[in-house]
Amino acid sequence: MSRTRNSDHQFDLDLGDDHANPGEPPSAPEMAAVLTEGEHMENLLEQWQDAGWIRELDIAFARLIRELCREQGESPEPLLLLLAAMASHQVGRGHVCIDLVSLLDNAGQTLALPPEEAPRHGYPELVDTLPTPSDILSQVTLPDCIAAMGATSAVSDGLHTTPLVQVDTRLYLRRLWRYEQRIAEGIRSRLSPSPSLADATSPSATTLRQALDALFSPRNDVDYQKLACALAARNRFAIITGGPGTGKTTTVVNLLAALQATAGCDSSRGGRKFRIRLAAPTGKAAARLNESIGNAVNRLPLDQLPGNVDLADIPTRVTTLHRLLGSRPDSRKFRHHRDNPLLVDILVIDEASMVDVDLMASVFDALPDHAQLILLGDKDQLASVDAGAVLGELCQRASESHYQPATATWLKAVSGEQVPQTLVDEHGEPLDQAVAMLRKSYRFTEDSGIRQLAEAVNTNRLDQLTLKRCRDAAFDDVIWLNGSDRAPDLEATLEGICRHAITGSPKAFRNRGVGRSTDHGELAPPVGYQHYLTLMNHRGLEADSPPEAWDDLARQVLEAFGDFQVLCALRKGPWGVEGLNDRIARRLLEARLIPRAEGWYAGRPILITGNDYNLGLMNGDIGITFSLPGQGNENGEPDTTLRVAFPSGDGTDGIRWISPSRLQQLETVYAMTVHKSQGSEFNHTCLVLPDRMSPVLTRELIYTGITRARSWFSLVTGDPDVLTASSRLRIRRASGLAEALRSSVPVNES
């Protein structure tokens, strides 16, 4: 039995004589046949792939299950093949597993199938006639799924080596289940308070208290940064989470200084300080942390600390996680693992919301048993592009803290800060005692529009008053550029985005100004891309200018480029990255700010989209293309060479110059997706939302887009209702990490 295409490009499930009308949706008996005949099921999965609904990888995994079952003399049920394909599909969407209860309750929503904008590959009638997963699973019950999984040796509870693992009502690919278990075990083994600090009257606890008192000035309200330092010092695993401007970097620098003070006074260590490493998921995030942590270290009152702490004891060099672990080209494995652990006592990972389960499991594999892990990040930001939402799941209860009375008492004794009673819970879980949330923003004032809009979105309280203030430019730092247009014209709006991107001025849409942020004082008006291009085009350097002068110019241009960024929710289409990058480039060419709009040219900003270990460039790194003058050709005519300038990424302010011919995975970055912007901040961001809803439009995406802005935020929408509709939808990634932390299932590593 095989699938067939007829001359009208319609698909036939090839279900036999019962299917009387090819091209029409199959009837209930026909769909029931899909659940009883394996070939019918495979035929349907292939048609879903042809329709652009699922990946070839998902079908290949279902076939693998079929072949493994046959090798054991089993005849796998078609339902098992469907569940296997859907489990693989969910991993591709960022889920660690597939939850069968959610699947059967609403398969369309759980799987996002059929997708809203699936590619049709020349067969437009296909998507209108295919049965959907909801159609098929409407006849299936949870006991049916349990029975199908229990009837095969391809599924186990994890104690045996099988390609699929079932835990309660969750179905995992074994690789993802193993990652989750390794993370849970790594955290669980580090949750007990350090023996030297468990007693608040111990010498180490006394030193810690002295250090915290020196690092933090007295306040009239609760100092959540000081509480976070004390809590994070207590265990070998800790999370410090908070929104933008809450002082995560300042807090962790003070924490490291306090820990080095305790080490310096610990007689059992002989005054030996801790070996500390700092890391981030991307090169851009590492560079930003490197800059902010260096500034914070220079403000430390080291002379007031016990333990003889000096500047050399607090690292300021930040690396990417892949560099830290030792990436191997063309391999998922790292040089550092259980048999070759990192030489580290304390590891700090910033922007931890971007770390997926695979990478986080590798981190725990590479940590020596005694090492302390500290995660920093905003729990409300977008999760990693790949599978898992590790930080978000670990911080599910962070807002209420749930500190046990004993924890609150210890914190009071060591930090001098009284934990509010609303954050105390006698039934608090062990993980709760390791999670600290910073609750005061130092970047934005109470009347900041960026702050109010971000909080309204994040708490699902985006009301009409806030929207009206954005439309009317009532905020000093936020403007909804076309918020008054109920039915924005596509072409006019896209052209307005381009003008706004070039100048940064809201006059691209209407003749109104933007005020001054009271938090930042008298700032210059927002700027667009003409800022960095003007700086570049009036450089005043010649062929005989020293390399240091070119490096200095590159640093200035890269910094100027970071003053403004267009962010998109989508990749494709007129509202997406691809369409806007092309359109903005053409408008910059018309304005004579760049020499061409295609290929390589001076001024082209690029984003690295894949790790290149040979060049030392990581996914997310941004570079600017320069035209460097040569010494002249043989005819005495001037010549030029194109080179791309990147920050060195090694913790210094150095510049690396790389030939465009050596760069492989990249894209122009006048516009970037919100996902790609994580780990970055820009002085001014313009968030572009499309004219219709899409599965990627969620509260987390809107919040992340808003909070990339430091000083100015502008918004453009293809439909004004998309903003409010997106803010009501949350990302719910299926996972069992929180439950795994409460259990102790042994992991079979084979």
Q: Which residues contact 196 (CB under 8 A, 6 or more apart)?
A: 202, 203, 204, 205, 262, 266, 268
Q: Do the beta carbons of residue 163 and residue 65 sit within 8 Å?
A: yes
Residue 274 tokens read as: 């801790």
Cα distance between residue 416 and residue 410, in whole Å: 9
Q: DSSP character for 663? A: -
Residue 330 tokens read as: 């063309």
**Cα dihedral 215→218→221→224 (10° resolution):** 10
710 in helix, strand or coil?
A: strand
Annotated binding-site residue? 248: yes
Amino acid identity of 374? I
CA distances from 743 to 183, 378, 740, 746 (A): 12, 27, 5, 9
**Cα dihedral 606→608→613→617 (10° resolution):** 50
Annotated binding-site residue? 244: yes
Annotated binding-site residue? 629: no
Cα distance between residue 465 and residue 476, in whole Å: 16
104 in helix, strand or coil?
A: helix
Cα distance between residue 165 and residue 162, in whole Å: 7
Annotated binding-site residue? 242: yes
Q: Do the beta carbons of residue 403 and residue 419 sit within 8 Å?
A: yes
Q: DSSP character for 26? A: P
| φ/ψ (deg, to 5) at 658 | -125, 135
The DSSP H or E segment spanning 186 is helix 174-188
Q: Do the beta carbons of residue 643 and residue 579 sit within 8 Å?
A: no
Helices and strands counted in the chain (H then E): 28, 22
CA distances from 168 to 283, 380, 746 (A): 39, 28, 16
Cα distance between residue 97 and residue 178, in whole Å: 11
Cα distance between residue 317 and residue 6, in whole Å: 62
Cα distance between residue 362 and residue 336, in whole Å: 9
Residue 147 tokens read as: 């029975």
Cα distance between residue 183 and residue 358, in whole Å: 9
Cα distance between residue 426 and residue 744, in whole Å: 23
Annotated binding-site residue? 245: yes
CA distances from 430 to 185, 187, 457 (A): 13, 10, 30
Q: Do the beta carbons of residue 64 and residue 52 sit within 8 Å?
A: no
Annotated binding-site residue? 640: no
CA distances from 90 to 12, 76, 217, 258, 282 (A): 26, 21, 49, 43, 24
Q: Give the residue among 357, 448, 393, 453 at the shortest CA–CA distance from 699.
A: 453
Annotated binding-site residue? 546: no
Q: How many CB atoms lie within 10 A of CB 455?
A: 18
Cα distance between residue 414 and residue 226, in whole Å: 10
Backbone dihedral region for residue 21 (phi beyond 0: left; psi -120 to 50: alpha; all else: beta)? beta
Kindly provide the b/e burial profile for residues 492-503, where b requires at least 16 CB atoms within 10 angstroms of the residue's own CB. Answer: ebbebbbbbbbb
Q: Which residues contact 470 (CB under 8 A, 6 or more apart)?
A: 449, 453, 478, 479, 480, 483, 715
Task: Please state the residue numbers annotated as binding site.
Answer: 242-249
Task: Please state the residue numbers annotated as binding site for ATP.
Answer: 242-249
